[in-house]
């Protein structure tokens, strides 16, 4: 049963990456008001010997990895580096693992749907990178339009699975997409320091906002498991 709980945790990681926008993480059990109740909740959330804490750690680690590997893939793709192929392969291995985790909780149809949507946003980012390299503004605009469609699709999936409001999830995912895009844009501009700062911001956002929000939603949805 514990293995299943961990699997359920991984589901929410998509967001991956990974999955952007703000504060619903603090609507699902992350209340940090100044009262005694807030302190009690904060102390409980910081405990490392609970299943809920383990879920949060797992999601944070997976989402941080997604942000870092994806950033490396985009830079390598733009530079024409021989690191692009192996790094892209590593990113897809993670995508498949995430889809299998989804399938173990929601079944093979959900597994296939998730993998289709998740892979699509990686493809759209590669399209954006190729167009950026070529100075093709129309191609860049088309990739951004496709990424907007991804935000809607993955928000439908995640909102339906976790019970979170779709609009709130979409806000978070859209912010993530914007931050990851900025990582490449800064690299293209030759501002490598800013590119790595954007990568750090991407990692921070996907962990403290997306991962924490999703972990809180799963724990609330499945209290008997945590």
Give the distance from CA 219 to its chain's centroid. 18
Q: Are 139 and 130 in contact (CB under 8 A)?
A: yes
pTM for this model (two decimals) = 0.76
Q: What is the pLDDT of residue 5?
A: 43
Q: What is the pLDDT of residue 70?
A: 94
Where in 74-142 does DSSP place strands (E)? Answer: none
Task: Write out residues in the chain with pLDDT < 50, as ranges.
Answer: 1-46
Please name which of 104, 98, 15 lies closest in space to residue 60, comparing C-alpha atoms.
15
Q: What is the pLDDT of residue 102?
A: 61
Q: What is the pLDDT of residue 9?
A: 40
Please name which of 7, 57, 33, 34 lies closest in space to residue 212, comparing C-alpha atoms.
57
Q: What is the pLDDT of residue 72?
A: 96
First to last CA, the chain: 11
The C-alpha atoms of residue 109 and residue 101 are separated, in whole angstroms, by 12
Q: How many CA atoms lie within 13 A of 4 on its CB side?
A: 9
């Amino acid at each position: 049963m514990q293995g299943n709980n961990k699997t359920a945790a991984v589901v929410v990681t998509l967001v991956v990456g990974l999955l952007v926008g703000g504060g619903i993480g603090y609507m699902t059990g992350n209340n940090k008001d100044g009262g005694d109740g807030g302190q009690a909740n904060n102390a409980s959330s910081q405990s490392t010997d609970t299943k809920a804490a383990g879920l949060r750690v797992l999601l944070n680690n997976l989402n941080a990895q997604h942000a870092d590997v994806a950033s490396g893939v985009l830079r390598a793709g733009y530079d024409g580096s021989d690191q692009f192929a192996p790094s892209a392969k590593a990113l897809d291995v993670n995508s498949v693992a995430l889809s299998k985790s989804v399938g173990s909780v929601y079944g093979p149809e959900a597994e296939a749907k998730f993998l289709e949507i998740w892979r699509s946003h990686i493809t759209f980012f590669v399209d954006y990178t190729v167009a950026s390299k070529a100075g093709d503004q129309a191609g860049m605009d088309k990739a951004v339009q496709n990424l907007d469609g991804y935000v809607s699709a993955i928000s439908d999936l995640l909102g339906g699975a976790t019970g979170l409001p779709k609009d709130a999830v979409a806000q978070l995912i859209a912010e993530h997409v914007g931050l990851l895009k900025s990582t490449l844009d800064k690299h293209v501009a030759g501002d490598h320091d800013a590119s790595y700062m954007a990568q750090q911001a991407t990692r921070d956002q996907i962990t403290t906002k997306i991962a924490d929000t999703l972990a809180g939603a799963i724990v609330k949805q499945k209290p008997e498991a945590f």
